[in-house]
Structure 1
Amino acid sequence: MSMIGTVGPPVPNIDVRLESVPEMDYDALASRARGEICIRGETLFSGYYKREDLTKEVFVDGWFHTGDIGEWQPDGSMKIIDRKKNIFKLSQGEYVAVENLENIYGLVSAIDSIWVYGNSFESFLVSVINPNKEALESWAAANGIDGDFEALCQNPKAKEYFLGELSRIGKEKKLKGFEFIKDVHLEPVLFDMDRDLITPTYKKKRPQLLKYYQGVIDNMYKSAK
């Protein structure tokens, strides 16, 4: 029962090691060993079909770099705690682990879902939020603000409220300055599979989200500067 929440120990004939990821503060040599999971073995696949570029990217000296961040457990099992490949660098050179930030900002009870965005040409983060309908309407009633759910999502005061909540949780979790979100767009329609924005397991499709909200993202960067 102690292995609940882990992927278990390494299987026979497969070597597993962790590789440090300094840009995410994961140290494979620390007493609490954490880093990118790398595996090798004769039963492992040899590469991506007709994609030599991808194969070269993930295979280094015979080790397959999974892109998953793991942590060794005392019982020898492995726990996946993060994802290396969902990181990007801001214009000032700071690396952002976006899934970790989304997990933190998702702790705000008034948020049903959040997509955090940034790129190497900009120095700050923006986000698209699916507000919790009941929470937003309750906040509006308490503050004497009228309108249906869609109208509330467009209300500047609602935007200020969510930015304040994001800042509050960011300070509480001791996020770094560049990890704070500078502007938000409140989206009344949940991210869904109909628009190809999430997978059947509810994971965000980031390229599709960017394509769908490109105009919104561009406007946020223009207005926030």
Structure 2
Amino acid sequence: MIFASGDIGEWQPDGSMKIIDRKKNIFKLSQGEYVAVENLENIYGLCSDIDSIWIYGNSFESFLVAIINPNEQALERWAEENGVSGDFDSLCENPKAKEYFLGELKKIGKEKKLKGFEFMKAVHLDPVPFDMDRDLLTPTFKKKRPQLLKYYQNVIDNLYKSAK
């Protein structure tokens, strides 16, 4: 159900209405599946190794990709346990680290019974948190999606190329 407010709700078994997203944050993938991206970000954000996640998809692509701000201590702990060396920035570039985060996202996705198209196919780990200085967040720390896309356009293009 869509309200004139732009909120999208879902009727609950007890008859109450749960707001799950905003209309402007929903898009369609190339096979026609609708994605409520804010809801997915909240689910994937439950991963304790992730400080922040921005999920992207569009109607020309069949899958989702994500930019992740990994938790520095968690990534360094993973590196130590897996014999991977390097500072935080170089760990974020490490393909094995990206595989690890994809695996963590997959675990949460399965646990929360997400549909196949709601799983990430590729991720980019950014050591620099999303911030207001680069105009990626509002003063209330909400993600500015158009600005995030503009800022990460080359990264997104590369994620789609590498994941096909």
Q: TM-score, normalization: structure 2?
A: 0.93
- The structure, 1 or 2, with the larger RCO (C-alpha pairs under 8 Å, 6+ apart) is 2
Question: In structure 2, what is the Cα distance between the partners aligned to 1:163 and 1:111?
Answer: 11
1:96 is paired with a residue whose SS is strand
Q: Name the structure 1 match of 2:34.
A: 95
What is the deviation of 1:85?
2.0
1:137 is paired with a residue whose SS is helix
Deviating above 2 A after TM superposition, structure 1's stretches of 4 or more consecutive aligned residues are: 69-73, 77-82
Q: Name the structure 2 match of 1:119.
A: 58
Q: Name the structure 1 match of 2:73.
A: 134
Q: Name the structure 2 match of 1:104.
A: 43
Sort the Cα spacing of 1:146 and 1:177 in 2 relative to 1 into closer, same or farther, 3 A: same
- How many residues are matched? 161
2:5 is paired with a residue whose SS is strand
**Structure 1 residues 30-179: aligned runs within 5 Å:** 36-37=2-3, 65-70=4-9, 80-179=19-118
RMSD: 1.7
What is the deviation of 1:69?
2.8
What letter corresponds to residue 125 of structure 1 in structure 2?
L
What letter corresponds to residue 58 of structure 2 in structure 1?
N
What is the deviation of 1:71?
6.6
Question: In structure 2, what is the Cα distance between the partners aligned to 1:112 and 1:128?
Answer: 11
What letter corresponds to residue 103 of structure 1 in structure 2?
N
1:182 to 121, 146, 149: 121
Q: Name the structure 2 match of 1:48.
A: none
What letter corresponds to residue 221 of structure 1 in structure 2?
Y
1:197 to 122, 136, 139: 136
What is the deviation of 1:70?
4.5
- Are the counterparts in 1 of residues 9 and 21 from structure 2 also a CA contact under 8 Å? yes
- Are the counterparts in 1 of residues 20 and 39 from structure 2 also a CA contact under 8 Å? no
Where structure 1 has 5 or more consecutive residues not aligned to the other structure, the ranges are 1-19, 21-35, 38-64
Question: In structure 2, what is the Cα distance between the partners aligned to 1:122 and 1:100?
Answer: 20
1:185 is paired with a residue whose SS is strand
Q: Name the structure 2 match of 1:224.
A: 163
Where structure 2 has 5 or more consecutive residues not aligned to the other structure, the ranges are none
2:6 is paired with a residue whose SS is strand
Sort the Cα spacing of 1:137 and 1:67 in 2 relative to 1 into closer, same or farther, 3 A: same
What is the deviation of 1:81?
3.9
Sort the Cα spacing of 1:209 and 1:90 in 2 relative to 1 into closer, same or farther, 3 A: same
Q: TM-score, normalization: structure 1?
A: 0.68
Fraction of identical pairs, as percent: 81
What is the deviation of 1:214?
0.3
